Amino acid sequence: MNKISKRIGLLTTVLSIFWATGCSDFLEESDPSNFTVENYFTQPAHGRSSVNAIYAPLRDPLSSGFGGGAWMMTEFATGLAATDLGQAVNSYFIKDLRNTSDNGYGQTYWTSYYKGIAGANLSIAKVPGIPGIDPNEAKKLLGEAYFLRAFYYFNLVRMFGAIPLVTEPVNLQSEQLKPTQATPAQVYDLIVADLTTAEASGLPWTDNTGKVSLGAVKSLLSQVYLTMAGFPLQKGATHYDLAAKKAKEVIDSKQFKLFSSYNDFHDPAKKNIEENIFMIQFKTQILPSNWQVSIIPYNKNISQYSDETGGIYATSDFVKSYDPADLRIKEKQFYFTKFTNEANRNLEVDLGGYFIYKHFDTVAQTSTANSDLNWAVIRYADVLLTYAEAANEVSGPSADVYAAASATRLRAQLPALAGLTKDALREAIWRERWYELSFENITWFDMVRLRKAFNLTTKKFDNYVGHKFSYGPTLTERELLFPIPTPEMRNNTNLKQNAGY
């Protein structure tokens, strides 16, 4: 049984391998099913392939169709998203604040991200012992593995709270086969340790193939510190200072910059460069990105895709809360309300809502039905706003804070921020995060760490608990976490369900 377990675990890793470059490079071995832990990790190339496999689970939540998509989970939880996809019950359970532990979106995140963690644990344990591997190459490979493990844990702890902390490869004889839950503080300790290790691993500042870079490591570490400063850990001033300093290192590196046009968000030529610090990799005809069907309206006949699901779009209340002069709400910037008919591109179709254009692949939608877009995980815009928020908390308004907080506003053709008190600037930065980072799986995490929600009528911030969505439901304390999926509770009796589920 031990050998079978190891074979299955390695198969999961090997068969999921796709180069992080997004290119068509796969393992050349003719029969991967013959590999086990015992006979793999025998040559330097195995180190690279094992680490490549850790990236694969990043893609799983983005898969979308008539059942919705797991990536929508944290978007519907904000109260800023709508849907016309009646059969996607998981979306409605979250959107209407009636979520249960049977929700398949949570199961996708849990299963996929622990799969990524398992792959990282295997590489961390085995790469250093590969015969003949260059020590510097091994160190960089481990840097990628530590970053990815930290990323998976960072998302899981924010979604589910107290979670199992598994740091070694597991087989059927492992004590951690049915692990108990660690406290959030313990999980964050591992995340910081992993990212600190990755930071010292010799990775380059940038990597236009899509692999983890030093810029990605420092950017994620700044986000982690910012989160630790808020809820649930409430580390406060010390961690706001750490977040500001780490984000400033990224800014001062001069390796990244904002795109000049929002069109660059959905231009495959802009993958992994400039504003795109870290992305989930896809490649047309090989591994095409798979959310296009979810961001177009339901059966309006505008797309080459046969599935027009209307899976997710912005509520009109949210879009109308932007400054009317904001470029981001102009047609085909962040959102779109009309498009041409699939059979007659001279005929314009009113879509009946504010659909998400920042993730839209024009070529795929109008001709190929095979998208070449990556999914942005960390943008430079987020780094700037992280620095602005954290630095303002530490020492209040300054020239550097105003510059970082205003950069995305200036691109949106809005005036720079100036002359504000610390409290007023804090909320101005929060608003800018809501508007700039919308529908990028960021806003709900901001809501939870701040315990705040944006009131679309007053343009102020309500307390999270008791905030009423514009379409009716009211947030309660239980919505600060998602429920641990039912199958996990059934299979591991050591787990305790989150309150209210």
pLDDT at 29 over 90: no
Tens of pLDDT, residue by residue over 249-286, are 999 999 999 999 999 999 999 999 999 999 999 999 99
pLDDT at 31 over 90: no
Task: Give the pLDDT confidence score for residue 27 in this predicted structure.
Answer: 30
Claim to verify: residue 16 and residue 151 sit in the same structural domain? yes
The whole-chain average pLDDT of the chain stands at 93
* Distance (Å, whole) CA 489 – CA 218: 35
Which pLDDT band holds residue 34 (cuts at 50, 70, 90)? low
- Coil, strand or helix at 157: helix
Beta strands in 73-147 (DSSP E): 81-82
Claim to verify: residue 293 and residue 164 sit in the same structural domain? no
Last residue within a domain, chosen from 358, 373, 388: 373
Task: Give the pLDDT confidence score for residue 175 in this predicted structure.
Answer: 79
Q: What are phi and psi of 266, to 5 degrees?
A: -120, 40
Run of H or E including 69: strand 68-69
Which pLDDT band holds residue 35 (cuts at 50, 70, 90)? low
- Give the distance, in angstroms, between the CA of residue 10 and the centroid of all CA atoms in the same chain: 26
Tens of pLDDT, residue by residue over 217-243, are 999 999 999 999 999 999 999 999 999
Full domain range(s) for residue 294: 282-373
* Structural domains in the chain (count): 2
* Distance (Å, whole) CA 48 – CA 40: 12
Tens of pLDDT, residue by residue over 105-157, are 999 999 999 999 999 999 999 999 999 999 999 999 999 999 999 999 999 99
Rg (CA), the chain: 22
Residue 32's CATH number: 1.25.40.390
- Coil, strand or helix at 163: strand
Judge whether 498 lies within some domain. Answer: no
Tens of pLDDT, residue by residue over 339-383, are 999 999 999 999 999 999 999 999 999 999 999 999 999 999 999
Last residue within a domain, chosen from 340, 373, 406: 373
Judge whether 103 lies within some domain. Answer: yes
Last residue within a domain, chosen from 347, 373, 399: 373
Claim to verify: residue 127 and residue 32 sit in the same structural domain? yes
- 411: amino acid identity, one letter: R
For 219-244, letters b (16+ CB in 10 Å) and e give bbbbbbbbbbbbbbeebeeebbbbbb
pLDDT at 13 over 80: no
